Amino acid sequence: MKNFAQLLNHLYFSYQHKAKLNLLLDFFKNTSDPERGYALAIMADTLDFPTFKRQLIRELIDQRIDPFLFELSFDYVGDLAETIALLWPNKMSKSESKLPHLSKVIHDLRNIPQAQTANHLAELLDKGNTIERWALLKIGTGSLRIGVSARFIKKALALYGQVNIQDIEHLWHSQKPPYIELFAWLDGKKPIPSIAEDNFFHPVMLSHPLKDKDLSSINPDNFFAEYKYDGIRVQLVCTAKEKALYSRTGDNISRSFPDALQTVNNPVVLDGELMVAGKHCIGSFNDLQKRLNRKNPDKKILEEQPAVIILYDLLEDEKRDLRHLPLSERRKKLENWFARHHPSNMVLSELLFFNSSEDLLELKKDTLSKQHIAIEGLMLKRKDSPYIAGRPFGYWFKWKRNPRLIDAVLMYAQRGHGKRSSYYSDYTFGLWLGEELVPIGKAYFGFTDEELYQLDKWIRYHTQNHFGPVREVEKALVFEIAFDAVNYSSRHKSGVALRFPRINRVRWDKPASEADKLENLIALINPTEQR
C-alpha cells in the first residue's frame, strides 16, 4: 500500500506528461503481481467497492472531529479525501504504523460484510500515515484527480511492453483485475492473451471536428455523410453465451435498457446511437435522460419511452471480426444483416451523399439550421476507413451545431476541487424573472487560469453572505454562458435545465441589469419538446 500511495502522490504533484509517464513505467517495472495489477485497476477505475462510499467516510470523520471544524477545513482544502487524511487522529507511532499490501486491502474491502466495513476502514486509517490515508480514501471516493486518464494509462502500458496501443485497446475489456495475463504478455513471458467468447467491449472509433482548413481534403468520391444523432453512443454485443449493451466508455448499461436487447439473438457486435422513441418520432436527449441510470425501469416507462438504436456500423457478424474491412464493405454487410433480421427497435442510419464542396456546405447548412430534436450535427466518414479504436485522424469528421449563448448573472460561488481547491471556481448563475434573479445552472470551466485568478479575487471582494462553503456575491458580474440545449425541468426552480453549460467569456463590461431574462431562455426550447 505504501508504494501505491507514493505513486498517487507523485502523480498528483507532477504536471508534465513525460514525468507522469516515467512514474508509471517505473512502477510497472519495479512492482510485482498482483500489486501492480490492482494499482492499474484503481487508476483505470475498473474496480467497484459496494460498501466503501463517501457517506461512510463522512460518518467516520464526524465521530472523531467536530463537524463545524471539519466543514471549515473542507471548505479550505476542497478535497474530501485530503481533508480527512489531514484531520484523522494519529493513534499509532511511526514504528507501529503499517498498512497491509494493496491486494490485501482491496480483497478485504470488496468482501467484508457491510456491517463490518466502518470498523475495518477505521482500523486501516489508524494504521496509515497522511499520504497512505489519502490514497486509501481516494479508492473509496472514486475520484483520484491525478491527471491520468484511461487512455494515458494504456499508452504507458504500450510503452512498457513495447507493443502497439491498438493491441492494448483490443484486449482491454476482456482482461480483469489484477491483469496477471496482461502483464505476463507485456513482460514477454507469455503470448498475447486469447480473447474468450465472452461479452467484451470493443473500444469505439471517434471523430475529429472538421475545420475549415480540412475542407479541401474532403473528396466527395471518398466520403459519405450521416446525421449525428443526439443520444449516447452504444455497442450491442451478442454472443452464444449472453448479450449486453455498452456505453462508449465500456460501461454495461443492459439493466437500464433491457428492451434494446430483445430483438437480437445471433452472434453480432453493432455500433450505434441509443435513443428513445416518442409518440410520432425519435425523442430528444432530454427524453433519453429520463431513462439513464435507472437500473430497473418499470413497465410504464418501457412502454412509453422504448429504446431505439440508430445503427452506424457492424463490427462482428457470426463471430467474424469485420473491423479491418473498409467502411463501405461493413455498411453493405450491416444492410444485409438488417434485411435478414428486421429488428423492430433498430433503424439504419441514413447515408447522405454530395458531389462537391458546395453541396457539402449546403448539406451542413441545412442540417445545422434544422431544429430536429434528435439530430445535433453531421458526420463525414471515409468509405475506406477501417474501424480503429480511439480518434485516428483523417478518417471521420464531425460538424456539430453551434452552442447557444445567453448572458447570465453570477449569484453564488464555491471552491473547486483538486488543484482548484484554493480558488472559487464553481459558479451558479441566474437570469431575470421580473426584478428577481432565478438560478438556471452551474458552470466550472471555460475560463483561463488568469481569468480564474481575477474571478477568485472579485468573488472575495464582493461576497455578501455565506452558506457553509458557498458564497453569495453581489449581483454585478455577467457571464456569457454557452450550452448545447435547454429543456423544461420540474426539478429546477426556474423550470428549465441547460445541457452542458460552460462559460464562454466573462462580460466584465456588461451591467447585470442588461443580462438576459428567463423568458429569453425559454424561447429557445424546441417547440416539439414536452413540458
**CATH code, domain with 78:** 1.10.3260.10
In a domain, 10, yes or no: yes
**Best CA proximity match to 112, nearest among 42, 47, 52, 35:** 52
* Predicted pLDDT at 199: 61
Regarding whether 74 and 86 lie in a shared domain, the answer is yes
Diameter of the chain by CA atoms?
Answer: 76
Three-state DSSP class for residue 37: helix
Lowest mean pLDDT among 191-195, 261-265, 294-298, 520-524: 294-298
Assess contact for 138 and 168: CB atoms under 8 A: no
pLDDT > 90? residue 410: yes
Distance (Å, rounded) from C-alpha 381 to C-alpha 389? 15
Regarding whether 432 and 413 lie in a shared domain, the answer is yes
Regarding whether 413 and 309 lie in a shared domain, the answer is no
Regarding whether 396 and 409 lie in a shared domain, the answer is no
Average pLDDT for 126-136: 93
Q: Tell me how far CA of residue 273 lies from CA of 227, 268, 270, 374, in angstroms.
A: 11, 16, 10, 11
Q: Which domain holds residue 11?
A: 2-141
Regarding whether 440 and 474 lie in a shared domain, the answer is yes
The CATH number of residue 436's host domain is: 2.40.50.140
Q: Tell me how far CA of residue 431 lies from CA of 435, 454, 471, in angstroms.
A: 10, 23, 18
Identity of the highest mean pLDDT range in 27-36, 123-132, 217-226, 350-359: 27-36
Regarding whether 354 and 239 lie in a shared domain, the answer is yes
Catalytic hit among 228, 243, 364, 381: 228
pLDDT > 80? residue 522: yes
Domain count, the chain: 3
Average pLDDT for 255-275: 95
Distance (Å, rounded) from C-alpha 224 to C-alpha 368? 17
* Residue range 82-98, pLDDT digits in tens: 999 999 998 766 556 58
How confident is residue 200, by pLDDT bands cut at 50, 70 and 90? confident
Residues paired with 316 in a beta bridge: 269, 321
Assess contact for 143 and 218: CB atoms under 8 A: no
In a domain, 278, yes or no: yes
* Predicted pLDDT at 365: 86
What's the CA dihedral at 435, 440, 445, 448 to 10 degrees? Answer: -20
Question: Which letter does DSSP use for residue 128 in this model?
Answer: S
- Structure-model confidence comparison of residues 420 and 203, the more confident one: 203
In a domain, 11, yes or no: yes
Task: Supply φ then ψ for residue 184, to 5 degrees.
Answer: -60, -40
* Predicted pLDDT at 454: 94
How confident is residue 174, by pLDDT bands cut at 50, 70 and 90? confident
Lowest mean pLDDT among 47-56, 352-361, 453-462: 47-56
In a domain, 180, yes or no: no
pLDDT > 80? residue 392: yes
pLDDT > 70? residue 129: yes
* Residue range 205-242, pLDDT digits in tens: 999 998 877 787 889 999 999 999 999 999 999 988 88
- Structure-model confidence comparison of residues 422 and 330, the more confident one: 330
How confident is residue 351, by pLDDT bands cut at 50, 70 and 90? very high
Q: Show which of 141, 166, 196 is a domain's final residue.
A: 141
- Whether residue 228 lies in the annotated active site: yes
In a domain, 529, yes or no: no
Regarding whether 74 and 8 lie in a shared domain, the answer is yes
- Structure-model confidence comparison of residues 525 and 482, the more confident one: 482
Regarding whether 316 and 231 lie in a shared domain, the answer is yes
Regarding whether 392 and 290 lie in a shared domain, the answer is yes
Which residue pairs, CB below 8 angstroms and at least 24 apart, start in 91-100? 91/126, 92/126, 92/127, 94/129, 96/127, 97/127, 97/128, 97/129, 98/127, 99/1, 99/2, 99/124, 99/127, 99/128, 99/132, 99/136, 100/1
Regarding whether 377 and 425 lie in a shared domain, the answer is no
Distance (Å, rounded) from C-alpha 363 to C-alpha 490? 36
pTM (predicted TM-score) = 0.75
In a domain, 95, yes or no: yes
Distance (Å, rounded) from C-alpha 228 to C-alpha 380? 9
Regarding whether 392 and 415 lie in a shared domain, the answer is no
Q: Tell me how far CA of residue 33 lies from CA of 4, 30, 179, 235, in angstroms.
A: 13, 10, 9, 32
In a domain, 50, yes or no: yes
**Best CA proximity match to 289, nearest among 487, 518, 521:** 487
In a domain, 435, yes or no: yes
pLDDT > 60? residue 20: yes
Distance (Å, rounded) from C-alpha 253 to C-alpha 113? 26
* Predicted pLDDT at 139: 86
* Residue range 357-381, pLDDT digits in tens: 889 888 888 888 776 778 889 999 9
pLDDT > 80? residue 248: yes
The CATH number of residue 303's host domain is: 3.30.470.30
Regarding whether 137 and 17 lie in a shared domain, the answer is yes
**Best CA proximity match to 314, nearest among 387, 382, 208, 245:** 387
Q: Show which of 93, 115, 141 is a domain's final residue.
A: 141
Q: Show which of 115, 141, 167 is a domain's final residue.
A: 141
Which residue pairs, CB below 8 angstroms and at least 24 apart, start in 466-469? 467/412, 468/71, 468/75, 469/71, 469/74, 469/75, 469/414, 469/415
Q: What percent of the chain has pLDDT over 70?
A: 96
Please state, rounded to an integer, the average pLDDT across all residues of the chain: 90
* Predicted pLDDT at 151: 85
Report whether the peptide linkage leading into residue 34 is cis, meaning its omega lies within 30 degrees of zero.
yes
156: its cell numbers: 504507458
Distance (Å, rounded) from C-alpha 427 to C-alpha 440? 11
